[in-house]
Structure 1
Amino acid sequence: MGAQMSHAQGIPPADLRAAIDEIQHQQSAQAEADEARRAAQRPSGTAQAAPIAGPDPLAPAPGGPCFHIRAITLSGFEAFRREPEGYRDLIGRCVTAADIAGALNLINQHYQDLGFITTRAYVPEQDVADGSLAITIVPGRLEGYVYGDGDQADARILSAFPGARGDLLNLRDLEQGLENINGPRSASGRFQLIPGEDPGGSFVQVHVEDKRPWHLNLNIRNTGFDSTGVVQASANLGFDNVLGVNDQLRFGVTSTPFDDRGRKYSDDFSVSWSAPMGNWLFGLDAGASQYFFILPGINQSYPVEGRSHYGTFWAERLLLRTQTAKLYAYGDLKLTRTRTFIDNQEIATQRRRLSIASLGLRGEKSFEEGGKLTWDLGAKLGLPIFDAYVLDKSIVDPEFRLLKARLSYEHPLDEAGTRYKGTLVAQHSGDILPGTEQFSIGSWSSVRGFHDDSMYGDSGIYLRNTIEWDAYEAASVKVRMNAGLDLGYVAPSALRRWSQDHLIGVSLGADITFQNRATLNLQLAHALSRPEVNPPNAQPAFEADRTVGYVGLSIDF
C-alpha cells in the first residue's frame, strides 16, 4: 500500500489533477447512466378507466306528491368508515320521488369520485308517510379475476392487481393492476367488469394481447470523451414475463468500438430485473464498467485504468392514487466497488467500497389542460456495512449524507403540438462525497453546451428549459424540433473552485423518427457562460470548444 501511495504522490500535481478530472468524468457519466436505467424500470403503461355510470336514466320525473322527511336511516356505509355526502339535505323538507332519486345520485357520485365505481345506493320498499326514510348502500365488492377467454386468473394477474376476493372494488386498484400488466413492452391489456354472483359483486375480466416477448435496441452516439473514446455504441436486450409475473429482464452493453483499445476504451455492462406485486415494485440491478486511456503528462505519459462494479436491491410502493395524482415511497441499498490505476499501480485513495442507502418520496400530478408535474425528494446515506471501506487518509467521507430533489413540468402551448418541458434538479451535502455521488453540470443531460468540460461538487442546482414542436410529419417520417436554455450552479468548496460557479448554455435540435422504429437525434449547443480565466488555487478554465454537437441513432427491433 505504501508503494502504491508513493507512486501516486510522485506524479507531478498538474498531471495527477488532470487524471482525477478525467476519472471524475467517467464516474459522473456512470452515475447518469445508472439513473437513466432506474428511470426506465418505473411503470410507464397507461391504465384504461372503466366506464362510470351517470345519473339513473329511469329516475322519476320532477313533480308529483311530496312527503315531509323528519329522519333518514342510512345503512351499508360502514365498510367505508364514514358516511357519504349528499343526502341529509332531504331532512326537514317535503320531498318528491325525484328529490330522493337526486340524493341517491349524489351518494353514488360521492363513491365514484373515491373510485368505488360499483357501489350503489337505493331506497328499499317502505312507507315514508311517517316521515322516516331508509337508504341502503350496497358496497361493490370484488369476486375475482378471470381472463377474457374464460381462463382462471394465474400468477400474472394475481400479482398485478392489489385487490383480493371480498375487497371493496376500487377503480384505482384496477388502474394500478392494469398499469402493471402493461408494464412490459410486449403486453397490451384492458379490463371490463361483469356481474358477480352476490349483490354488488363483480368479476374483473382481463383481456391481454401479448406480442413478441423480447425487444432489442441498438444505439450509437458521440457522448463519450476524447480520453476514452468519443463514439459509443450500445445494445440493450430485454425479455418480458420471464417468470410470468409481469417481470422484465434487461441486459445492456456499451463500448467504444472504433478506437484502438491499446490506447483508450470505455466498457459498461448491466443487467436488471424488476417485477410488480400489487402496489409494490421490486428490482435488482447489477453492473460493471472499465475504462483505459493514456494521460499525457508534463514529462511523460501515464496509462490510467479504472474498474468498478455494483449491485442494487430496490423497492417502491404506491402510497396514494387518485384520478389525477400518484404518490410513491422508495428505497434501495447499493454496494459499489471502485479501483483506479496509474501506470499499473493502484491509487490507494481511489479504492472505495461503499454501501449506500437511498430513501425518498416521488409523485406525479396531471392537469386537465394537458400539463404534468413530477417530483422526487430523497436522501442518500453512506453506511458502515457490508465491508464498506475508504482509505483512512482519503478526504472522502464514506458515511456521507446528502439530500436531492427533482422537479419536472411539461405543458402544451398550443393544439399543434408545441410543448414546454422544464426540469429543476438540486443536491445538498455538507460532506465530501465520492465521485459517483457528486453533483455535476455540463453535459447533454444537465446543462447543454458543454461536454468535455464540466463542473462538479457536493452541492448544486440546475434548470433545463426546452420548447418542442412538430416541424414535419408524413406517413413514415416525423420531425420534432427542440430549443433549450439551461442554467447550472455548483457550490464552491475548499477543495475545488473555478473562476465562476455557474454555467449557461443554449441548444437547438431535432428528433427525426423513421417508421416509428429508428430515431436520429441531432443537437447543437453553445456555451454562453463558463470559466474563462485561471485565478490562483482554482480549477483550470474550460478549454473545449464553446459549441458542441450531438449525433445519436437509435433503432428498435
Structure 2
Amino acid sequence: MPSEDEEDFQRPDPEIQPQQPSDGQSFEITNLEIIGSTVFSEEELKKVAIPFLVSLPTDLPGEVDSDSEGTHNAEINARAAHIDVLEGGVEVTLGQLRQAANAITNVYLTSGYITSRATIPEQTIADGRVQIQVIEGTLEEIQVEGTDRLADYVRSRIALAGQSPLNAQALESQLRLLRTDPLFDDVKADLLRGTQPGSSIVAAQVDPANPLQGNIGFDTDSPLSVGRYRVGSTLQYFNLLGLGDRFSASANITTTGGSQSYEMAYQIPLNPMNGTISLRFAPSNFRITNTAVTGGSESNGTSDIYEVQVRQPLIRTFEEELAVSLGFRYRDGSSVLNGFVTPPIETSVFTLGQDYRRRDAQGTWVARSEFRIGTDLFGATERPDPQPDGQFFLWSGQVQRVQRLSSRHLLVMQLDTQLTPDNLVGSEQFFLGGPGSVRGYFKNQRFGDNGVQVSIADYITLLRDADNRSIIQLVPFVDAGYAWFNNADVQDAIGQENFLLSTGMGLITSPIEGLNASVELGVPLISVEGSPDVLVDFNLRYSF
C-alpha cells in the first residue's frame, strides 16, 4: 500500500498550449475579469492576479525583509490591498497577463486541481477590459479493467471525486478507499488526457479478491461456566449478486459443548458513499457445564436474535469518515450471568448510532456512540419496577487512539463506557473480564447496568519480514474496569467487587501469511473470588 503522501495514479502529461505572440507591447487596462471559476470567487483570484500587473506601491505600510521567509506572500498581500489601482488605468504587457494567469493556475494546482488552468483567451480589448479564463478540469470517462461484475461498483466510487473541477486529492482518497475494500486485492489508476480541453480519463486496473474468504480459530473467549475453550469458523462470500454485497455465516462451539452460537448475516451497499443495509440472525443455545462455578446447579437456555440496520456515511474520505446508523433488534431468550442462566425474556430495541474515524500522520482516532431504546413492540417483556424488563434507555460509547510512537512502537488507548438510568436485563448489561476487556480475569466475570473500562497497550514489533509485515510483537498492557447496578439491593445481593485492574504481557506472531497466534498473560491486581493469580488467554486463527 502506498504511503499517504504518495499518489495512487499517474498524472496526465501536461497539455501543450499554443504560444501567443509576445512582442512586449504594452496596452492600458482599467478592469480585469476572471471568468470560469466555480471553486474560488473572482475577488479571491483577483488578489492573486493583480499583483503581477501593477508595480508595488512605495507607500505600503510596514517593511518587507527580502531575506525573510514568506517575502513573496507578503508582497502579494500588500499588492492585493490595492486592487482598485486598475480603475485609473495601468499599462501592462501580454507577458504580465501570462504571469497573472500562471499564478491563478498555481492556486488550483496547490489545492489539488491538477487538470485545471487559467489562460488568456483571444479577445478584443475594449474600454480597457481584459479577461482571464479559467478552464476547470472535468472527468470525461472512467475506464475499468480487470472485472466485469464490479465495474459499475468501481466507477460509482471513483465518480465521487469526478465532480467538476477534478481534484487529485479527492481522487487519491477514493482510490485508497477502494484499496482497503475487501472486494479487491489491489486497485491502480492512470489519469489520461481527455478528448476535450481540461478533460481527463481515469483508467483503473483492479484485481478482485477471492469472493470466498473465511477463517478457523481456537481461543479462550467464552465464559468459564459454559466452557472456556472455544473453536469457531467464519465464512464470507463477497459480491454474491454482483452489487458488492456480502453474505457471512459463523459458528462457535465450546469444547465442553456448553455453548453453541451461530450467526448468518447479509449486507448490501445502497449507494457509492457505502451506505449499507444489514440483516442478521443469531441463534444460540447453552448449558452450564462447569458446575463447580455455580455450586453444583445445572441449567440450560437458548436465545434468538433478529436484527436489521441501515448505516450511512455523511463524510467519507480516506482520512476521515463520519456515519450514522439506525437499527432494530429483536431478541428472545435467556442469558448467562455469573454462571447462571436467566429466565427467558423478549426485547425489541431501536438503536441509533454514530461513528467517526480520523487518520493523521501519527495515527488514528476512532469514536463510536450508540443509543438503545427498549420498546414494548412484538410482545417485549413487561415487569413491575424495579424488575428489569424490555423497556429501557441506555447510551454506550467508545473512544480509541492508535498512536505511532516510532517504527517499532504502536500505542493503543481505548475507553469504553455505558450509562443508563434503568435496571437492565442480562443481554443489555456491561460486562468486564476476558479477552478484549480486562485481561487477567475470566470472560464476563463482572457486570452491571453501567460501566467504564480503560485499556492501554504498547505493540512493540520485534521482527518484520521482507515485506515489512510484523512477524513477532510484544504487547505490555494495563486494563481497568468498573461496573455497577442502579438498584442498590441487587448490588448488595450479588456482593461482587465492582472494580477490576490488571496488567500483563502479550505475544503476537504471524509466521506465515494468514496464520495469527496470540498469547496473553494477565495478572489481576485486585483479587476476586474464583480468579487465579495469573491467567493465560490465547487466540489461534488461520484466515484464507
Q: Structure 1 length as normaliser, TM-score?
A: 0.76
Residues 295 and 302, structure 1, Cα contact 8 Å, conserved in 2: no
| 1:71-120 CA-partner distances (Å, limit 9, x unpaired) | 33232234x595684542434751734641443134314652xxx55444
Partner of 2:262 in structure 1?
269
Partner of 2:540 in structure 1?
553
Q: Measure, in 2, the Cα distance between the counterparts of 1:303 and 1:316.
A: 41
1:461 to 449, 452, 466: 452
Residue 94, structure 1, aligned to residue 54, structure 2: yes
Q: Measure, in 2, the Cα distance between the counterparts of 1:528 and 1:157.
A: 52
Name the amino acid aligned to 2:222. G
Aligned-pair CA distance for 1:269: 0.8
Q: Measure, in 2, the Cα distance between the counterparts of 1:162 and 1:282.
A: 22
Aligned-pair CA distance for 1:321: 3.8
SS of 2:510's partner is strand
Q: Measure, in 1, the Cα distance between the counterparts of 2:41 and 2:392.
A: 46
Partner of 2:322 in structure 1?
327
Q: Measure, in 2, the Cα distance between the counterparts of 1:298 and 1:499.
A: 15
Partner of 2:514 in structure 1?
517
Name the amino acid aligned to 2:457. T
SS of 2:391's partner is coil
Structure 2 unaligned blocks of 5 or more: 56-95
Structure 1 unaligned blocks of 5 or more: 1-45, 531-540
- The answer to which of 397-406 and 171-180 deviates more is 171-180
Q: Measure, in 2, the Cα distance between the counterparts of 1:552 and 1:298.
A: 23
Residues 406 and 335 (structure 1), Cα distance of their counterparts in 2 relative to 1, 3 Å cut: same
SS of 2:262's partner is strand
SS of 1:179's partner is helix
Aligned-pair CA distance for 1:66: 7.9
Residue 507, structure 1, aligned to residue 504, structure 2: yes
Residues 376 and 405, structure 1, Cα contact 8 Å, conserved in 2: yes
Partner of 1:447 in structure 2?
438
Partner of 1:125 in structure 2?
122
Partner of 1:287 in structure 2?
282
Residues 144 and 164, structure 1, Cα contact 8 Å, conserved in 2: no
Q: Measure, in 2, the Cα distance between the counterparts of 1:507 and 1:84.
A: 61
Residues 48 and 431 (structure 1), Cα distance of their counterparts in 2 relative to 1, 3 Å cut: farther
Aligned-pair CA distance for 1:125: 3.2
Q: Measure, in 1, the Cα distance between the counterparts of 2:292 and 2:464.
A: 52
- The answer to which of 295-304 and 426-435 deviates more is 295-304
Residues 145 and 152, structure 1, Cα contact 8 Å, conserved in 2: no
Q: Measure, in 2, the Cα distance between the counterparts of 1:298 and 1:153.
A: 52
Q: Measure, in 1, the Cα distance between the counterparts of 2:476 and 2:409.
A: 11
Name the amino acid aligned to 1:547. V
Q: Measure, in 1, the Cα distance between the counterparts of 2:320 and 2:16.
A: 31
Name the amino acid aligned to 1:247. D
| 1:227-253 CA-partner distances (Å, limit 9, x unpaired) | 211210011111121111222221111
Residues 145 and 153, structure 1, Cα contact 8 Å, conserved in 2: no
Residues 160 and 181, structure 1, Cα contact 8 Å, conserved in 2: no
Aligned-pair CA distance for 1:177: 6.8
| 1:108-147 CA-partner distances (Å, limit 9, x unpaired) | 14652xxx55444333234679654423233333334322
Partner of 1:241 in structure 2?
239
Q: Measure, in 2, the Cα distance between the counterparts of 1:85 and 1:219.
A: 60
Question: What are the within-5 Å matches in structure 2 for residues 267-416 of structure 1?
Answer: 267-276=260-269, 277-279=271-273, 280-294=275-289, 296=291, 301-321=296-316, 324-339=319-334, 350-368=343-361, 370-391=362-383, 395-415=387-407
1:75 to 7, 30, 35: 35
Aligned-pair CA distance for 1:524: 0.0
| 1:238-279 CA-partner distances (Å, limit 9, x unpaired) | 1121111222221111102x32x4xxx101111122233311
Aligned-pair CA distance for 1:165: 8.7
% identical aligned pairs: 20
- The answer to which of 450-459 and 229-238 deviates more is 450-459
- The answer to which of 286-295 and 69-78 deviates more is 69-78
Name the amino acid aligned to 2:108. N
Aligned-pair CA distance for 1:423: 0.7
Q: Measure, in 2, the Cα distance between the counterparts of 1:340 and 1:390.
A: 17
Q: Measure, in 2, the Cα distance between the counterparts of 1:66 and 1:496.
A: 90
Residues 67 and 94, structure 1, Cα contact 8 Å, conserved in 2: no
| 1:12-61 CA-partner distances (Å, limit 9, x unpaired) | xxxxxxxxxxxxxxxxxxxxxxxxxxxxxxxxxx997445689999999x
Residues 70 and 91, structure 1, Cα contact 8 Å, conserved in 2: no
Residues 12 and 193, structure 2, Cα contact 8 Å, conserved in 1: no
Instruction: Give the length in aligned residue pairs.
Output: 484
Q: Structure 2 length as normaliser, TM-score?
A: 0.77
Partner of 1:183 in structure 2?
181
SS of 1:546's partner is coil
Aligned-pair CA distance for 1:299: 12
Partner of 2:142 in structure 1?
145
Q: Measure, in 2, the Cα distance between the counterparts of 1:543 and 1:298.
A: 8
